[in-house]
Amino acid sequence: MIPYGKHQIDNNDIEAVVDVLQNQFLTQGKQVPKFEKALSEYTGAEYALAVNSATSALHVACLALGIGQGDIVWTSPITFVASANCIRFCDAEVDFVDIDPTTRNLCSRALLDKLKRAKQDNQLPKAIICVHFAGISCDMRQIHQICQDYGVAIIEDACHALGGQYLNHKIGNCRYSDFTIFSFHPVKSITTAEGGALLTNQVDLIKKATLYAKHGVTRDPDLIHGQLLDEPWGYQQLTLGYNYRLSDLNAALGISQLKKLDNFIEKRRQLAKRYFEKLSHLALVLPQKDELDNSAWHLFAIELIDRDRKQVYSALQQLGIGVNVHYIPVHWQPYYQNLGFKKGDFINAEHYYQHALSLPLYPDMTFEQQDKVITALEQIIS
């Protein structure tokens, strides 16, 4: 089976983890701070906080922005459910902004129109969560400009996009957002087995996020109430926090993987380029080709034209090709239907989903494997 995505591990990765197992603290040691520093240096963001999943990072980012009951937060309907669930974790209300059919990202024009209506109704969101779908950045400069006019905070869900670029800068630098979130799940740009991170340029936000991610407990003299206990082991719990720490085993793997990130992304771009070259004659809608050298190419998502998606999916699976579909619109899920959303609410997202298919793409995929995917797709849909 050729999977749609797959991690790539070498001996350096294994040795890094074994060294922690044999010689270092397994948690709360030196590797997590080193990984956070490496993420900051790679992206250009001032601060990074590594946590046990991107879902945890999204939750903490919302908490640090003060999102809670009575607030509204908007995101894209074409994403994994965690992008919306993190809002509900904070007891806030969720709404969605439809996608641009070309980029499959949150549409800035739809965002502006929705903000105008929301202001009239006194229902402005406290924040939006922009999802960089498949590795292509949203138009963050325009979104930032729009949100500034309405006082709306911005979280970049860049779980697909580590290693990508926007306006000649690495995604994750937070020039146009309050937070950027990354995922290190095994099918993402790099892996820590499980893990995530949030990045920001704002010192007050990183302190709040760190507090929420580590039990609400601190020894930070800028945060403690009154004087810290005189004992050297003293600490204070200032709020109800969570145990979202990343282990040093995970961080050691992340440090090793991060050194290879640009090579991973270059291989993904080579594969994406071949897909563009070899699929252009077929009745398909392909991703944005002009983003070839900017996208992190987490996914290569096509749209079928006048073909039964289920039949194509099943035929490819039977041939050992692990195609997938990203994503069922969040507002179609039973949980969100119970909140009042319904089919037909976001027509661009729904049209995309009904035709979408994600082709296999990962760094150690060979051209021979890719040609097998292409040949099979040609035979099935021609």
pLDDT in tens, 329-353: 999 999 999 999 999 999 999 999 9
Give the confidence band of 153 by pLDDT, cuts at 50, 70, 90: very high
pLDDT in tens, 251-300: 999 999 999 999 999 999 999 999 999 999 999 999 999 999 999 999 99
| Helical residues (DSSP H) of the chain, grouped into ranges | 11-23, 31-43, 54-64, 82-89, 108-120, 140-150, 203-213, 248-258, 261-279, 309-318, 334-337, 347-355, 367-381
Give the confidence band of 382 by pLDDT, cuts at 50, 70, 90: confident
pLDDT in tens, 60-75: 999 999 999 999 999 9
Q: Rounded to an integer, what distance in angstroms lies between the CA atom of residue 51 and that of residue 73?
A: 22
Bridge-based pairing of strands 179-183 and 196-200 is antiparallel
And the tokens for 141?
């400069």
**Cβ distance 87 to 60 under 8 Å?**
no
Q: Rounded to an integer, what distance in angstroms lies between the CA atom of residue 257 and that of residue 9?
A: 8
For residue 229, the model assigns a pLDDT of: 64
Q: Alpha carbon 176 to chain centroid distance?
A: 16
Mean pLDDT score of the chain, rounded to an integer?
97
pLDDT in tens, 12-36: 999 999 999 999 999 999 999 999 9
And the tokens for 37?
């520093």
Work out the number of other CB atoms within 10 angstroms of the CB of residue 357: 21
Q: What is the mean pLDDT of residues 136-150?
A: 98
**Cβ distance 188 to 298 under 8 Å?**
yes
Work out the number of other CB atoms within 10 angstroms of the CB of residue 37: 13
Q: Is the pLDDT of residue 230 over 80?
A: no
Q: Rounded to an integer, what distance in angstroms lies between the CA atom of residue 40 and that of residue 45?
A: 5
From the list 346, 260, 353, the residue with the least C-alpha distance to 75 is 346
HSE, CB side, 13 Å, CA atoms: give it for residue 89.
Answer: 19
Q: Is the pLDDT of residue 53 over 90?
A: yes
| H or E, element range at 131 | strand 127-131
From the list 31, 123, 29, 144, the residue with the least C-alpha distance to 73 is 123
Helix (H, G, I), strand (E, B) or coil at 285: strand
Bridge-based pairing of strands 153-157 and 127-131 is parallel
Q: Rounded to an integer, what distance in angstroms lies between the CA atom of residue 127 and that of residue 106?
A: 14
HSE, CB side, 13 Å, CA atoms: give it for residue 376.
Answer: 21
Q: What angle do CA 50, 63, 27 make, to 5 degrees?
A: 25
Listing DSSP states for 12-49 in one string gives HHHHHHHHHHHHS-SSSSSHHHHHHHHHHHHH--SEEE
**Cβ distance 3 to 364 under 8 Å?**
no
Tokens 């995101």 sit on residue: 75
Q: Is the pLDDT of residue 44 over 80?
A: yes
Q: Rounded to an integer, what distance in angstroms lies between the CA atom of residue 77 and that of residue 65?
A: 22
For residue 186, the model assigns a pLDDT of: 97
Give the confidence band of 228 by pLDDT, cuts at 50, 70, 90: low
- Domains along the chain with CATH numbers: 11-258 (3.40.640.10), 261-381 (3.90.1150.10)
Tell me the β-bridge partners of 128.
Answer: 74, 154
Q: Rounded to an integer, what distance in angstroms lies between the CA atom of residue 350 and that of residue 338?
A: 18
The pTM of the whole model exceeds 0.85: yes
From the list 139, 186, 157, 132, the residue with the least C-alpha distance to 295 is 132
For residue 93, the model assigns a pLDDT of: 98
Give the confidence band of 86 by pLDDT, cuts at 50, 70, 90: very high
Give 198's contacts (C-beta < 8 A, 6+ positions apart): 48, 49, 51, 57, 58, 60, 61, 179, 180, 181, 182, 209
